[in-house]
Amino acid sequence: MGSENSVDLYRTEPGSLAGRYLRSFWQPLYRAKDLPAGEAMPLRIMSEDFTLYRGQSGAPHVVAFRCAHRGTQLSAGWVEDDCIRCFYHGWKYDSSGQCVEQPGEDASFKSKIKIRSYPTEEYLGLIFAFLGDGAVPALPRYSDLDAGGIIDVLLSEEWPCNYFNRLDNLGDPVHVPFTHRESRSRIGIDVVVPDQLIAEENDVGIKLTRKLAVGKSQARYILMPNMNHLRHPLRIKGAIANELKEGSVDRFLWRVPIDNDRCLGLGVDIVHLEGEDAKKKFREFSSETEPDGPSHVELGKRVLQGKAKIKNLTGADNYELTRIEDYVAQVGQGAIADQTNFHLGRNDIVVILFRKIWERELRALSEGRPTKQWKTLARSDFNGQE
């Protein structure tokens, strides 16, 4: 770690190596339900600004941040059909970025004006875009995992830390008995450090197997370049928990840089339940409103400032408490964790392997060699381990 040959995994602005690599994959940018038809939003991803809007047709679009006329911010303008009209002097652009109207200008002018646009698609309750240059790959779909499942977007959150602080946590079951001591003990779960962790590179990224003393083993996947997948039984509290106890969940989490010291966490649950009745109950349950009060980010910040203690946060439900705990551990590493001062041990094998793969891929990219073509996670990857 941190040798002079190490590659910079943290910086993702345009032109940076990690930024070029991440831009060669589709990235989720926004929770679909937060963007109504006819609305535009400014968006910052990998230190670059964009305009995200949803046309009247319902289709999401991503175009350049600024108008080509005199540069004002397009998100302040109006969505008309699937076009966006500038707030300042009314130039109008279609979703390909082509200028299609310029009030008061010569008719021949508009054909010469085009702003950048980016392939955009909605999938799993999220809006994805391809922000890179060159050939556009197909958006990866997890068709045999999402088949028949209920899509539940569980989180969309901005944290003040580098995306790699968060990626390092994806393959880290050793933090659970400590970081999540309070939340787990409140629901009577006693988590122990796994006896053995096995990390193997495969076609999707890394397969992490943890063997527990009691003979059980559990697998999870870190999916290159910036997501992971967990499969677990449906865990919900309250009156309907018993009725839905046969359910299972495929959970996907993405970590996307906003800039070098902020990142976006997006998470989707694909909930599998038998029978329409159970599905209906779950939908009713999951549409209940989110809790009021300070956000997990606000509470996590207070803990890091010494103004609150996790053990005293009795108002937060268990899910919120888990997020606060993760926030405290990962933002607590500093906005950009100082890897030159890391002392990695046996339990960091996933962190070590993950960084090795990333560094290898970035070196290939910088030397113009082909990078590894990752596959999409499929049911067959589980080999009966579910």
Site of interaction with ligand FES (CB under 6 A):
67, 69-70, 72, 86, 88-91
Q: For the CB of residue 361, give the shortest distance to Fe ion in the complex, in Å.
A: 26
Nearest to residue 95, comparing CAs of 124, 121, 125? 121
Residue 72 near which of Fe ion, ligand FES, none (CB within 5-8 Å, type-dependent):
ligand FES
For residue 173, whether the previous peptide bond is cis, meaning omega lies within 30 degrees of 0, is no
Residue 326 near which of Fe ion, ligand FES, none (CB within 5-8 Å, type-dependent):
Fe ion
Which residue, 48 or 326, has its beta carbon nearer to Fe ion? 326
- The residues binding Fe ion (CB under 5 A) are 326
Which residue, 105 or 381, has its beta carbon nearer to ligand FES? 105
Residue 119 near which of Fe ion, ligand FES, none (CB within 5-8 Å, type-dependent):
none
Which residue, 74 or 273, has its beta carbon nearer to ligand FES? 74
Q: For the CB of residue 332, give the shortest distance to ligand FES in the complex, in Å.
A: 43
Question: Is the distance from CB of 186 to CB of 193 less than 8 angstroms?
Answer: no
Residue 89 near which of ligand FES, Fe ion, none (CB within 5-8 Å, type-dependent):
ligand FES
Q: For the CB of residue 69, give the shortest distance to ligand FES in the complex, in Å.
A: 3
Q: For the CB of residue 268, give the shortest distance to ligand FES in the complex, in Å.
A: 36
Number of H helices, E strands in the chain: 9, 18
Listed in sequence order, the residues at least 6 apart from 55 whose beta carbon sits closer than 8 Å to its beta carbon are 37, 38, 61, 79, 81, 82, 83, 95
DSSP letters along 91-139, please? Answer: -EE-TTSBEEE-TTS-TTTGGG-B--EE-EEEETTEEEE--SSS--PPP
Residue 235 near which of Fe ion, ligand FES, none (CB within 5-8 Å, type-dependent):
none
Nearest to residue 91, comparing CAs of 112, 67, 60? 67
Q: For the CB of residue 318, give the shortest distance to Fe ion in the complex, in Å.
A: 13
200 backbone dihedrals φ, ψ, rounded to 5°: -130, 135
Which residue, 24 or 72, has its beta carbon nearer to ligand FES? 72
Q: For the CB of residue 90, give the shortest distance to ligand FES in the complex, in Å.
A: 6
User: Which amino acid type is present at position 261?
Assistant: D
Helix (H) or strand (E) holding 88: none
